[in-house]
Homo-oligomer: A and B are copies of this chain.
Amino acid sequence: MIRAELAAAQAQIGAWLAGALSDFGDDAVAAAMRYACDGGKRVRGYLALASARLHGVDADRAMPVAAAVEAVHAYSLIHDDLPAMDDDDLRRGRPTVHVAWDEATAILAGDALLTFAFELLSRPEVGPADVRITLVSGLSRAAGAGGMVLGQARDIAAETAARPLMLDEIVELQRLKTGRLIEWPAVAGAVLGGADPAPMRGYAAAIGLAFQVADDILDVTGDELAAGKRLRKDGGAGKATFVSLLGLDEARARADALADEACDALSGYGAAADPLRDLARFIVARDR
């Protein structure tokens, strides 16, 4: 059920993004932007669409928001994969952008996708101006130097630190690096619908952490072909992960408990929130 829903959202968001990006023509940077936005699980975009639907918001209004968070996610992957950062050559089963083009094109394509996300949120079809500016404020805080970028910087700093991170430090790092950009689209659906965002924030905090615990499990147990990216880099780098700190069984139990917590946060919504509950279960059980 959730797999079919995710697959449908993947196709919709992918087609919509490709159409919106076609406005930028055929320069190398524009081609690299489209390449980087092609594929992926679309968990963040799906969250925006599902949360919007839960709050009675038309898909036409939610689609630019879903595309915006996927654009920010794609930008962060392009820059993260650069030689000066994680130095990855494989992403979504294909060469990374700086391998397929070059570093300059990758830097600029990332910059342009980040900028494009804010252009998408400014579009009139998203809703009243006060809703749009609330979304801009939220995304800029989630993605910026107090959010995702801070998490990325701490992740890099951890690689050369004198000691591996402790559990509470990893939780905080992941809340910033991954969690904030999972929280934003979930909250955005409530903002679009003029609803209290608190329950969605609680839900998203739990699945954000669950997502990262599952990623660490996948890094140990997963298949590179299915994942479409290099695995088992963390262990080789002596990096502390949820698995290295908790062990595999305890990490699995933690991920399941977080999925429960996420579902509980949605109790006020009744059965209408079942797709989001299914997503929480899917996140901890996924194979890529």
Interface residues of chain A, those whose CB is within 8 Å of chain B, are 23-24, 27-30, 33, 75, 79, 82, 84-85, 102-105, 107-108, 110-112, 114-116, 118-119, 121-123, 128-130, 132-134, 136-137, 139-141, 143-146, 149-150, 152-154, 156-157
Q: Across the interface, which residues of B come within 8 angstroms of A141, CB to CB?
A: 119
Evaluate contact between A144 and B116: CB separation under 8 angstroms.
yes
Known A115-B145, A132-B133, A145-B115: A104·B84 in contact at CB below 8 Å: yes
Distance of A122 Cα from B122 Cα, bound (Å): 11
Q: Across the interface, which residues of B come within 8 angstroms of A119, CB to CB?
A: 136-137, 140-141, 144
Q: Across the interface, which residues of B come within 8 angstroms of A28, CB to CB?
A: 153, 157
Evaluate contact between A115 and B133: CB separation under 8 angstroms.
no
Evaluate contact between A145 and B84: CB separation under 8 angstroms.
no
Distance of A107 Cα from B24 Cα, bound (Å): 23
Known A104-B156, A122-B133, A122-B136: A30·B145 in contact at CB below 8 Å: yes
Distance of A102 Cα from B28 Cα, bound (Å): 27
Copies of the protein in its oligomer: 2
Evaluate contact between B121 and A144: CB separation under 8 angstroms.
no
User: Which residue of the partner chain, among B137, B139, B145, contacts A29 with CB atoms under 8 Å?
Assistant: B145
Q: Across the interface, which residues of B come within 8 angstroms of A84, CB to CB?
A: 102-104, 107
Distance of A129 Cα from B111 Cα, bound (Å): 25
Q: A115 to nearest B CB, angstroms?
A: 4
Distance of A149 Cα from B227 Cα, bound (Å): 32
Q: Across the interface, which residues of B come within 8 angstroms of A115, CB to CB?
A: 114, 140, 143-145, 149
User: Which residue of the partner chain, among B105, B137, B146, contacts A153 with CB atoms under 8 Å?
Assistant: B105
Q: Across the interface, which residues of B come within 8 angstroms of A121, CB to CB?
A: 136
- Closest Cβ neighbor of A33 among chain B residues: B145
Residue from A23, A129, A141, A154 whose CB has the most chain B CB atoms within 10 Å:
A129
- Apart from A85-B104, A118-B139, what are 5 other A-B pairs with CB-CB below 8 Å? A104-B153, A112-B149, A115-B140, A119-B137, A136-B136
Known A118-B118, A140-B118: A145·B110 in contact at CB below 8 Å: no
Q: Across the interface, which residues of B come within 8 angstroms of A103, CB to CB?
A: 82, 84
Q: Across the interface, which residues of B come within 8 angstroms of A114, CB to CB?
A: 111, 114-115
Distance of A128 Cα from B130 Cα, bound (Å): 8
Q: A123 to nearest B CB, angstroms?
A: 8
Q: Across the interface, which residues of B come within 8 angstroms of A116, CB to CB?
A: 140, 144-145
Evaluate contact between B27 and A153: CB separation under 8 angstroms.
yes
Distance of A122 Cα from B142 Cα, bound (Å): 13
- Closest Cβ neighbor of A30 among chain B residues: B145
